[in-house]
């Protein structure tokens, strides 16, 4: 019996950890039922390389933006940059963008400006915003809510590992929470409780590969095939068998990343 189909909604296939191995890792993903993946460009100067990967592999789609930790260290992205890139048939999301005050709090104001620009790009392109949030829950909730009230947009909280208040704020706006390997770590019960309290139709899964491999590969390099291990934990969280959980998560991905479904059909 073939494994249930599932999508890795966030990975970084352009990172050097995967050089010379992309054919094999995409084949390994397929063996686990991982039939699609979205690879994320975090600095626009790397966009041509990320785009080339999406063009080379049928299961791979891509998104691009300026990671908050890169704000001030790389050329500023413009609204025109993002809307131009969105014309590519396999460009399916805006970001990742967001706020990270853990290592880069000194650029908080510039990060907020960058986040608002990416939100406007998501509105104009009607593509989902891909959010990175770390140690910035209050500002993140405030900006996402203020901007949504000004004009709506769609969004996924990538690799969600923040507190319940930010989860509630995002869900109240109709946004999605994405489970990464962090949610599968034994000591992450409080995070699993946040996911369990969320509507199942707002959940995605991801690897954030090459980072955050879930058990049984924790501490090793992550790769898209391992999203199935996180999804197994997700099925337990929602008290579902794996095929049922996978089908529901696939429907969520198709709803949010509608351009992927449109391209495939």
With respect to residue 231, please indicate whether it lies within any of the assigned structural domains: yes
With respect to residue 79, please indicate whether it lies within any of the assigned structural domains: yes
Total domains in the fold of the chain = 1
- Rounded to whole angstroms, the Cα distance separating 49 from 41 reads 9
What strands, in cross-sheet order, belong to the sheet with 91-100?
6-11, 34-41, 60-64, 91-100, 129-134, 155-157, 176-179, 203-205
With respect to residue 150, please indicate whether it lies within any of the assigned structural domains: yes
pLDDT at 40: 98
C-alpha to C-alpha distances, 231 to 43, 97, 100, 121, 142, nearest whole angstrom? 28, 24, 26, 30, 30
With respect to residue 241, please indicate whether it lies within any of the assigned structural domains: yes
133: domain range? 6-264
Tallying the residues shown for the chain, one arrives at: 265
Q: What is the CA radius of gyration of the chain?
A: 17
Kind of pairing between the strands at 129-134 and 34-41? unpaired
Instruction: Give the ranges where 75-178 is alpha helix by DSSP (H).
Output: 79-85, 101-104, 108-125, 137-150, 164-172
Q: Which of 48, 56, 63, 19 is nearest to 210 (CA)?
A: 19
**Phi, psi for residue 100 in degrees, rounded to 5:** -135, 105
With respect to residue 31, please indicate whether it lies within any of the assigned structural domains: yes
- Rounded to whole angstroms, the Cα distance separating 143 from 131 reads 12
Would you state the structure tokens that stand for residue 30, as one six-digit string?
């397929």
pLDDT at 2: 87
Instruction: Tell me the pLDDT tens digit for each residue of 89-114.
Output: 999 999 999 999 999 999 999 999 99
Instruction: Tell me the pLDDT tens digit for each residue of 179-203.
Output: 999 999 999 999 999 999 999 999 9
With respect to residue 131, please indicate whether it lies within any of the assigned structural domains: yes
Q: Strand, helix or coil at 9?
A: strand
Beta bridge partners of 97: 131
Q: Which of 64, 62, 115 is nearest to 94 (CA)?
A: 64
Cα pseudo-dihedral 24, 28, 34, 39, rounded to 10: -30
> Residue 253 — left, alpha, or beta (φ > 0 → left; ψ -120 to 50 → alpha)?
alpha
In a 10 Å sphere around its CB, with 0-12 CB exposed, 13-18 middle and 19+ buried, how is residue 80 labelled? exposed
Would you state the structure tokens that stand for residue 124, as one six-digit string?
């104009």
Confidence (pTM): 0.97
- Rounded to whole angstroms, the Cα distance separating 254 from 117 reads 25
- Residue 100 in contact with residue 264, Cβ under 8 Å? no
With respect to residue 1, please indicate whether it lies within any of the assigned structural domains: no
Instruction: Tell me the pLDDT tens digit for each residue of 4-36.
Output: 999 999 999 999 999 999 999 999 999 999 999
With respect to residue 151, please indicate whether it lies within any of the assigned structural domains: yes
For residues 31-60, average pLDDT: 97
- The CATH code of the domain that includes 83 is 3.20.20.140
Instruction: Tell me the pLDDT tens digit for each residue of 217-231.
Output: 999 999 999 999 999
């Amino acid at each position: 019996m073939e494994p249930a189909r599932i999508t890795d909604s966030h990975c970084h296939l352009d990172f050097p950890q995967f050089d010379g191995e992309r054919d094999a890792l995409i084949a390994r993903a397929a063996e686990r039922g991982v039939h699609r993946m979205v690879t994320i460009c975090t600095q626009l100067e790397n966009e041509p390389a990320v785009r080339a990967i999406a063009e080379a592999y049928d299961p791979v789609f891509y998104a691009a933006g300026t990671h908050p930790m890169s704000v001030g260290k790389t050329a500023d992205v413009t609204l025109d940059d993002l809307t131009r890139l969105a014309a590519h048939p396999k460009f399916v999301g805006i970001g990742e963008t967001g706020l990270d005050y853990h290592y880069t709090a000194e650029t908080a104001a510039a990060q907020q400006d960058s986040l608002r620009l990416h939100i406007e790009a998501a509105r104009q392109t009607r593509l989902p915003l891909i959010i990175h949030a770390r140690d910035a829950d209050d500002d993140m909730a405030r900006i996402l809510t203020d901007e949504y009230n000004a004009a709506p947009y769609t969004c996924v909280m990538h690799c969600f590992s923040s507190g319940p208040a930010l989860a509630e704020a995002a869900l109240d706006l109709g946004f999605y929470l994405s489970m990464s390997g962090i949610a599968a770590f034994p000591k992450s019960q409080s995070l699993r409780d946040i996911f369990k309290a969320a509507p199942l139709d707002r959940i995605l899964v991801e690897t954030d590969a090459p980072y955050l491999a879930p058990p049984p590969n924790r501490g090793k390099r992550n790769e898209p095939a391992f999203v199935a291990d996180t999804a197994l934990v997700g099925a337990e969280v929602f008290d579902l068998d794996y095929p049922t959980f996978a089908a529901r998560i696939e429907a969520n991905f198709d709803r949010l990343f509608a351009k992927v479904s449109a391209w495939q059909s």
